Chain A
Amino acid sequence: MQWPPPWRRSPLVSATPPPGPTTGLLRPRRVSEAGDSSTEGARTGHSHYVTPAESAMERRSQPFPSLRPASPTNAPAHGRGSDCTAKEPPLANVCRQNYGAAQDPVEPAGRRSASHVTGSSLGKAEVACGRRWRWAELVANSSWSPAGRATEMKVKMLSRNPDNYVRETKLDLQRVPRNYDPALHPFEVPREYVRALNATKLERVFAKPFLASLDGHRDGVNCLAKHPENLATVLSGACDGEVRIWNLTQRNCIRTIQAHEGFVRGICTRFCGTSFFTVGDDKTVKQWKMDGPGYGDEEEPLHTILGKTVYTGIDHHWKEAVFATCGQQVDIWDEQRTNPICSMTWGFDSISSVKFNPIETFLLGSCASDRNIVLYDMRQATPLKKVILDMRTNTICWNPMEAFIFTAANEDYNLYTFDMRALDTPVMVHMDHVSAVLDVDYSPTGKEFVSASFDKSIRIFPVDKSRSREVYHTKRMQHVICVKWTSDSKYIMCGSDEMNIRLWKANASEKLGVLTSREKAAKDYNQKLKEKFQHYPHIKRIARHRHLPKSIYSQIQEQRIMKEARRRKEVNRIKHSKPGSVPIVSEKKKHVVAVVK
C-alpha cells in the first residue's frame, strides 16, 4: 500500500501520464515504452496510478494506431494533439461512475476512490496534464538520442486489471469499488444530514397534493361512497337529492340520478358492488343498480322502502345482504324485506351516523346528537356500551386493520380514537382542527386517517399521533362535509359545500406513476433519511412548515391562547388549593363525560 493513496496525491504527480515521444499517443505507461528517455526514468520513480479517465482515454485511442509518431520531430505536434484529447470533456461512462451517490454540496469530491477522481477533479487534472505534457515534450526533444534508449530503468508501477473495473456489457451494473471502513469516512453524519435536509426541502418543493376537482353537483355534496371493486368509481349524494357516479380516471360524471327529494342523507354500496343504497330526507331507503338503465329505460330504484321517520345515515354489512340505517333508532334491514329485522335503541335522540365494523362484521357503532357514541352487537340485537363525550360526535369510522379501534369526529374540533373495549379513556386525542370535524375516514392500511372539518380544510392524522401530519385546503374549498380515502390508499376525496368533489394525493409529494428501481431506491433512502433526522431543528421546521389560509391560521393562534389560558388557570388553581383537592385530569380523560353500561 502506498501513502498517501493515489487519489489524495496532487494531480501533478499522479494523474499525469509520462509521455515519451516514441510511445503511443495515449499509452504512455507501459514499462518498456516508459523507460525510453533518461528524463522519463527520473520521473517514473514515482509509481504511476491509472485513473479510469485515463483508461477510458486509452480505450478510445486504440482505434488510431496510425497516430504513432514516425520520427522525433513529429513529437511536438502530437503533443499538442494529446493536449486536445486530454482537454476533451470526460466520457459519459467515466462520469457515470459517480452516479451511485447523490451529488451533494458537502461531499468532498474525489476523496474516496479512484472513480471519484473523475467527477470533479478531472478539470484540474486536465489543466495540469496539459502543462506537464508540454514540459515533457520539451525535455524529450532535447535529450532524444539512441543512447537514452539503451539505458534501462527499473520502474515501479501500480498496475490495475481492467477486469476489476470495466464491465463486460453496458447493461451490467457499474462496479464502484468502495472501502466501507468507517475510519475512512469521518463525515458520514454531516453528509447524511445535508442529504436529509435536501430531501426534506425537495419534499416541500414537490408537495402538490391537489389533483382534480369534480364539478357537476348543483348543491353541496353531502355524502360520498367508494365502489368496493372498482377504484375509479365514486358515488356522491348532494343536498338537492341528486346522486352522481363519477369516473376518477376520466374525471367526469358517468351517471346522474335524482334519487330523493331533499337531502341525500346517506349513501353506501353493496359489498359486491352491483348496487347501492341511498337514504334521503323523504323518509325513503332506495336501492339502485350500479349500472345505468338501458337505452330508453327510466331511471328507477330496485327497491324503495318508505319509513316512518327520516333516515339520517346508512351503512351496508361487509359480507351479508344486510344493511343498517339510523334515525330515531338503529334499524337492521334485510335487503329483501320492507321491515327492519331488528331495531336497537338506547335513549331518545336522533342518531346521525351508523357504521359497521369491517372486521368483526356483527359490530356496529353509532353516534347520536345527545353527545354519545353507542356500540351495538347485531347478533345479540343489543347495544353494548355507550360513551358520552363533551360534545356531539358527527361520525365514527372503524379501523380496517384493527378490529376494536374506531375514531370519532367530534364537534369540539377534536377526533378521538377509542379502543372499544376500554371506552373510558380514548387511545389518542387528535387535535389540530379549528372547527367542528364533520367526517373521518381511515386509510385502508389502517395507519392513518383523514378528517374533514367545517374549517374548510382536511387533515391527515397518523393513528398514533395527536397532531396531523398534513393539511389540505384550497382557496375555493368551503366547509368540507364528507371525505373518503380510496381503497388503494393513494388518494383522498372530499366533498364540500361549494358543490365540488376534490381529489387529493394522500402523500403530497409522492410521484405518481411507475417508478424505476433507482427512483424507488432514492425515494426510500430519502424517506429513511427524513425519518432519521426528523428531530433536528432545521429539518423539523421545514418538514412541519405549511401555508395556511389566514382564517385558519389566526384561529389556531387564538385557540392556542385560549388553551394556554385554560392551562394556566388550572395550574394556578392547583397551586393555590390544598394539595390533592383539585384532581389532575389528563387530556385524554378530560373529554369523556361518562361511560354507560
Chain B
Amino acid sequence: MNVNQVAENLALSHQEELVDLPKNYPLSENEDEGDSDGERKHQKLLEAISSLDGKNRRKLAERSEASLKVSEFSVSSEGSGEKLVLADLLEPIKTSSSLATVKKQLNRVKSKKVVELPLNKEKIEQIHREVAFSKTSQVLSKWDPIILKNQQAEQLVFPLGKEQPAIAPIEHALSGWKARTPLEQEIFNLLHKNKQPVTDPLLTPMEKASLQAMSLEEAKMHRAELQRARALQSYYEAKARKEKKIKSKKYHRVVKKGKAKKALKEFEQLRKVNPAAALEELEKIEKARMMERMSLKHQNSGKWAKSKAIMAKYDLEARQAMQEQLAKNKELTQKLQVASESEEEEGGTEVEELLVPHVVNEVQMNVDGPNPWMFRSCTSDTKEAATQEDPEQLPELAAHEVSASGAEERPVAEEEILLREFEERQSLRKRSELNQDAEPASSQETKDSSSQEVLSELRALSQKLKEKHQSRKQKASSEGTVPQVQREEPAPEEAEPLLLQRSERVQTLEELEELGKEDCFQNKELPRPLLEGQQSERTPNNRPDAPKEKKEKEQLINLQNFLTTQSPSVRSLAVPTIIEELEDEEERDQRQMIKEAFAGDDVIRDFLKEKREAVEASKPKDVDLTLPGWGEWGGVGLKPSAKKRRQFLIKAPEGPPRKDKNLPNVIISEKRNIHAAAHQVQVLPYPFTHHRQFERTIQTPIGSTWNTQRAFQKLTTPKVVTKPGHIIKPIKAEDVGYQSSSRSDLPVIQRNPKRITTRHNKEEKL
C-alpha cells in the first residue's frame, strides 16, 4: 500500500461527502463504494478479522509499517503527537492534474476553522441571561411613549376605560330626525326652497354644476395661476407702498439719480439701435428743459425758498439747501453737452485728490474728531500704508545695505529701515514672507551698528512726518498762516522735545530720557522745566495746536482717574505712539484693550451715585399740606406765602440711621419687610428656572371670582380622577392600542404540552 493510493482513497471519500476532514472519522466505511482492487479488499478483510477480537486499537498501534501515520483511520492513539496538517495530505496530489475538483474542495475545507471548546456552564447561562434581558427590555420599551403620555396628561381618569366612540356625523343624526316645531319647519322650508343641502354632500346644485363644468386639473391650474398673479400683485403693491413710505430724501435722491442714469443708458442704447426713436427722446428731454426754463420751479422764488433766504444768513443748512436748488436749476436748464468734457474735468480733480496721500487725509480727520478708537485704527492704518509703500523699495534697499557694509549713513535709507523695524514688530505675521529674505540681516545690522542713531533718526523722521501733517492740514483747510509754516520748518530740533512731551505717559517720558542718555544728541541734557518753557514759548506761535496741548497737559495730570477720563491718547499723533510701541508694545496693547473694554465706565462714581439715590429714596418725605389760596390770594403765578408753607409743612421724622451708613461701598436695602417676608417664598422652587415664571403662575388667579365658569372649571381640573367603587385594573396592552402578546406566558420548556390542554379544559370547569 503506497502513499499515492491512500491519498486517492481520501480524495474519493471527499468526493462523496463534503464534510470537513477532521470530523470525518469513519473513512473506511465509505471506501466500500469506491473502486476496489485486490489489495484494498485484502486490507479490509484483515481489518474485519482484527476487529473481531476487540483489540483493534492495540493492534493498530502495534503495526510497524512505515505508513503508520497515514492509516485509514487517520488517528493514531499514540502517534508522535503531531497534528495532521492538510498540507501534508495535499502534497502527493499536486502532481496529478485530474484531481482538480478534489483540490478545490480540500482547499475549502482548509479555510474552515477548528471548532472551539464549549464555554463553561456559568458563562453560557450568563449569555442566555443577557440575551433574554436585552430582549425583555426591548419589549418593555414599547411602553415608554404611553408612560410619558400618562405622566404629561392634564387629567387621568381611572379606571382607564376604552376611548369614547367618535361623535357620529351630522348626517346620521339627521336621518332619524324630523322637523317638529314650527320654527324648525320654517327653517327646513327655507333650506329646501334655496336648494341648500341638508344631508351629506354639502354642495348646492349650482356648486355641483360648476364643479362639473371644469375638469379638476384645469381648475387647479387656473386657480394656481390666479393665485400666483394675485401673490405677485400683492407683492409689488407692498413693495411700492413701502418705497413710497420711505421718508429719506437721500434715498429718493439716489433713486432718482439711478433712474436718470438708467434712462441715459437706455437712451444711449436707443441711439445705437434706433436713431429716430432716440431723436424723439432727445426732443422730449429738450422739451422738459424748456418747460423747466419757463417755470420758476427751481429758481429760489417759491415760498419755501423765500423763507429759506431769510434763514440763510444764519443757518448753514438753509444756505446749502438753496444752493442745491440753484444747482439743480442749473443742471436742468443746461443744454445737453458732450459727456466726455465733464468726465475729463472730473478725472482731473480725481488726480488731484490722488496726489494727496490717503493717510494724511485720514489723520486729519482724526485730528478733528476726538474718537480715540477711530484714531487707533487710523494710526495703524498709517503705519500699514507706510509699510505698503515700503516693501516695494525694501529688497533693493536691503541689498544696498548689505553691500554698503552697514556703517555708512544714508539718511533716507535709515528712515526706511527704521520704519521697517517697527512695522516689522507691528505686523510681523502679515509680511513675514515678504521680508523673509532681506530682513534678518539688515535689521540686525541696523541694531548693531547704528543702534545709537536709531533714536535720533527716529525723532527726525517723526518730526518730518509731523511737519508733513501740519502742512497738509494747512493746505487742506487753507486756513493756516504761511509764516507759521515757515517758522516751523526751520526748527525741527526745537519740535523734538515737544514731541516727547506729547507722549501720553510720564513713564514713557522717563524711559525716553533714559534712552536719550545714551544718545549722542545734545538735548539729552535738557532739563524738563526747560522743555516746558520751550513749549510755553511755542504755544503762542502755534495757534491751532495750543488748546490741544493744554488738554494733553491736563490729561497728564489727571492720570489718576484713569478709568473715568477718555483715553489720553486721543490726539497724540502717530510718532509718539510709535516710540512707545518700540518699548513695550504688548503691555500697551493689553492696556489699550482694557481701556477699550471699559471705555466710559466709572464704576466707583456710578456706585456712589447709586447709593446716594438709594439713600435719598429711602428717606421719609415731608408732607406739604398747604392749600394755595386758602386765607390769602391765590391764582396763577401766586405762591402761598412762606409762613403758610412753614405752618403746613409736616416734617418727616428722622428715620433710624441706615445700616450702611459707615460702609461706603455697600448698599443695604431697608425695604424688606420682615412681617411680609414670613409669607414670601425665599427660594425659587424646584421646577422653575426663573423667578418670573414662578411669579406668573402665582399671579394667574384660578378662582371663580376672577374667572368665568368655564375657565374656572378648566383651571381646577384635578390631575387624577378616580371613581369610588370602581376597580382599577392594571394597564393593559389592549387598552392603549398595542397587541398583547398572543403567545402564552408559559415557559418554553414545558415538558408535555398534552397536559396543558387538559388543564385548560379543567380550568373551564372551575
Q: How long is the Cα–Cα vector from A336 to B760 in the complex, in angstroms?
A: 9
Within 8 A of B (CB), among A378-427: 378-385, 400-404, 420-421
* A379 touching B147, Cβ below 8 Å: no
Residue of B nearest to A405 (CB): B147
The B interface, classified by DSSP as helix, strand, loop or mixed, is loop
* B468 smallest CB distance to A (angstroms): 62
The reply to whether B759 and A488 form a contact with Cβ atoms under 8 Å apart is no
Q: B706 touching A188 by the CB < 8 A rule?
A: yes
Q: Which residues of B contact A318 (CB under 8 A)?
A: 730
A401 touches B730 (CB 8 A): yes
A382 B132 Cβ-Cβ under 8 A = yes
A597 proximal to B (CB < 8 A):
yes
Shortest CB distance A388–B (Å): 15
Does B674 lie at the interface of the complex (its beta carbon under 8 Å from any beta carbon of A)?
A: no
Q: B706 touching A180 by the CB < 8 A rule?
A: yes
* Assembled-state Cα–Cα distance A341/B141 (Å): 28
Partner pick for B728 among A188, A336, A379, A445, CB 8 A cutoff: A445
Contact of A537 among B681, B699, B701, B703 (CB under 8 A): B681
Hey, what's the 0/1 contact readout for B236-260 against A, CB within 8 Å counting as 1? 0000000000000000000000000
B747 A342 Cβ-Cβ under 8 A: yes
* Cβ-defined contact, B745 with A319, below 8 A: yes
Contact check: which of B681, B730, B744, B747 meets A332 at CB < 8 Å?
Answer: B747
Q: Tell me what chain A mostly uses at the interface: helix, strand, loop, or mixed.
A: loop
Q: Is the CB of B759 within 8 A of A401?
A: no
- Contact of A336 with B762 at beta-carbon distance under 8 Å, contacts A188-B699, A342-B747, A445-B722 already known: yes
A527-545 with Cβ < 8 A to chain B: 527-529, 532-533, 535-538
Q: Does B726 contact A (CB under 8 A)?
A: yes
**Cβ of B181 under 8 Å from chain A:** no
Binds A, one of B90-98, B106-114, B628-636, B749-757: B749-757
Please, how many angstroms separate the alpha-carbon atoms of A358 and B729 in the complex?
A: 9
CB atoms of A536 and B722 under 8 A apart = no
Q: Most chain-A Cβ atoms within 10 A of its Cβ — which of B143, B679, B707, B747?
A: B747
Instruction: Report A-chain residues with C-beta under 8 Å of the C-beta of B720.
Output: 445, 447
**CB-based contact A537/B679 at 8 Å:** yes
Task: Report whether B701 and A341 are in contact in the complex, using a CB–CB cutoff of 8 Å.
Answer: no
CB distance from A563 to the nearest CB of B (A): 21
- Tell me if A189 and B130 are in contact (CB < 8 A): no
With both chains docked as a complex, state the minimum distance between the C-beta of A473 and any C-beta of chain B, in angstroms.
25
B704 at the A interface (CB under 8 A): yes
| Chain A residues, Cβ within 8 Å of B730 | 318, 358-359, 400-401, 444
Q: How far apart are A508's CB and chain B's nearest CB, in angstroms?
A: 16
Within 8 Å by CB of B732, from A180, A341, A359, A524, lies A359
Q: Interface digits, B120-150 against A, CB 8 Å rule (1 contact, 0 not)?
A: 0000011011101101110111010001001
Asked if B129 and A384 sit within 8 Å, CB to CB, the answer is: yes
Q: How far is the CB of A595 from chain B (nearest CB, A)?
A: 11
> Are B143 and A402 neighbours in the complex by a CB distance under 8 Å?
yes
With an 8 A cutoff between CB atoms, is A193 at the interface? yes
**In the complex the two chains form, is A444's CB within 8 Å of B158's CB?**
yes
Instruction: Say yes or no: is A361 at the interface (Cβ < 8 Å to chain B).
Output: yes
Contact pick for B682, options A189, A360, A401, A537, CB 8 Å: A537
Q: Is the CB of B722 within 8 A of A337?
A: no
The interface bits of chain A over 323-343 (1 if a CB of B lies within 8 angstroms of the residue's CB, else 0) are 000000000101111000110
Contact indicator A400/B725 (Cβ below 8 Å): no
Q: How far is the CB of A387 from chain B (nearest CB, A)?
A: 12
CB interface residues, A 154-207, toward B, < 8 Å: 178, 180, 182, 185, 188-189, 191-193, 195
- On whether A401 and B150 interact (CB within 8 A), knowing A359-B732, A525-B716, the answer reads yes
The answer to whether A335 touches B759, judged by C-beta atoms less than 8 angstroms apart, is yes
Interface assignment of A487: CB less than 8 Å from any CB of chain B? yes
For B36, the chain A residues whose CB sits under 8 A away are none
Closest-CB distance, A464 to chain B (whole angstroms): 9
CB pair A229–B705 under 8 Å, yes or no, is no
Q: How many of B's residues come within 8 Å of A, CB to CB? A: 73
B652 at the interface (CB under 8 A from A): no
* CB contact list, B703-733 vs A, under 8 A: 703-708, 712-713, 715-718, 720, 722-733
On whether A532 and B725 interact (CB within 8 A), knowing A180-B707, A359-B732, A420-B137, the answer reads: no
Smallest distance from the beta carbon of A169 to chain B beta carbons, Å? 19
Contact A445 B137 (CB under 8 A): no
Shortest Cβ distance from B763 into A: residue: A321
- Residues of chain A within 8 A (CB-CB) of B216 are none
Residues of B within 8 A of A403 (CB): 140, 143, 147, 731
- Residue B527 lies at the interface, judged by CB distance under 8 Å to chain A: no
Q: How far is it, in angstroms, between the C-alpha of A487 and the C-alpha of B724 when the chains are bound?
A: 10
Q: Kindly state whether residue A354 has any CB partner on chain B within 8 Å.
A: no
Within 8 Å of chain A (Cβ to Cβ): is B191? no
Flag if A380 contacts B140 (CB, 8 Å). no
CB of B260, distance to nearest CB on chain A (Å): 58
Q: Mark B415-426, 1 if CB is under 8 A from A, else 0.
A: 000000000000
Residues on the B chain within 8 Å of A401, using CB: 147, 150, 730-731
- Give Cα A420 to B144, complex, Å: 13
Nearest-neighbour CB distance to chain B for A99, whole angstroms, equals 11
Q: Is B748 an interface residue (CB 8 A)?
A: yes
Let me know if B722 and A490 touch, CB within 8 A. Answer: yes
* Residues B702 and A320 in contact, CB atoms below 8 Å apart: no
Most buried by B among A228, A342, A445, A521: A445
Bits for B660-689, please: 1 = Cβ < 8 Å to A, else 0. 000000000000000000111110010000
Q: Is the CB of A445 within 8 A of B156?
A: yes
A487 to B126, CA, bound (A): 38
* Residues B189-233 near A (CB distance < 8 A): none
Contact B681 A529 (CB under 8 A): no
Contact of A421 among B130, B137, B716 (CB under 8 A): B137
Q: Which of A325-374 contact B (CB under 8 A)?
A: 332, 334-337, 341-342, 358-363
Decide: A362 and B701 in contact? CB cutoff 8 A.
no
Q: Is the C-beta of A582 less than 8 angstroms from some C-beta in chain B?
A: no
Report A-chain residues with C-beta under 8 Å of the C-beta of B703.
101, 188, 191-192, 195, 525, 529
Closest to B127 in A: A597
The answer to whether A402 and B147 have CB atoms under 8 Å apart is: yes
- A535: B residues at CB distance < 8 A: 681, 685, 694
- Please, how many angstroms separate the alpha-carbon atoms of A275 and B766 in the complex? 9
Contact yes or no, B701 A528, CB < 8 A: no
Given contacts A359-B732, A488-B725, A537-B681, contact A322 B746 (CB under 8 A): yes
B410 at the interface (CB under 8 A from A): no
Q: In the bound complex, do residue A421 and residue B140 qualify as a contact, i.e. CB atoms below 8 Å apart?
A: yes
Shortest distance from the beta carbon of A424 to any chain B beta carbon, whole Å:
13
The residues of B that contact A525 with a CB separation of less than 8 Å are 702-704, 712, 716
B707 CB to closest chain A CB (Å) equals 7
Query: Shortest CB–CB separation between residue A230 and chain B, in angstroms?
Result: 8
Task: Provide the residues of chain B in CB contact with A193, threshold 8 Å.
Answer: 679
Which A residues lie within 8 Å of B725 (CB)? Answer: 231, 488
In the docked arrangement, what's the CA distance between A189 and B699, Å? 6
A488 B728 Cβ-Cβ under 8 A:
yes
Given contacts A379-B743, A488-B724, A528-B716, contact A597 B130 (CB under 8 A): yes
The answer to whether B766 touches A274, judged by C-beta atoms less than 8 angstroms apart, is yes
By a CB distance below 8 angstroms, the chain A residues around B147 are 401-403
Determine the chain A residues whose CB is within 8 A of the CB of B715 once the complex forms: 528
Residues of A within 8 A of B143 (CB): 359, 402-404
Please, which residues of chain A bring their CB within 8 A of the CB of B115?
none
Q: Are B728 and A528 in contact (CB under 8 A)?
A: no
Docked pose: A402 CA to B748 CA in angstroms: 26
A-B contact pairs, 21 of them (CB 8 A): A112-B705, A189-B701, A231-B725, A275-B766, A320-B746, A322-B746, A335-B759, A336-B759, A341-B751, A379-B745, A444-B728, A444-B730, A445-B158, A445-B728, A488-B722, A521-B712, A521-B713, A524-B716, A525-B703, A528-B716, A532-B697
CB-based closest 7 A-B pairs: A444-B728, A358-B730, A400-B730, A362-B745, A381-B747, A524-B716, A188-B701
Given contacts A341-B746, A382-B129, A537-B682, 10 further A-B contacts (CB under 8 A): A336-B762, A382-B128, A403-B143, A404-B137, A444-B158, A444-B729, A488-B722, A524-B716, A525-B712, A532-B702
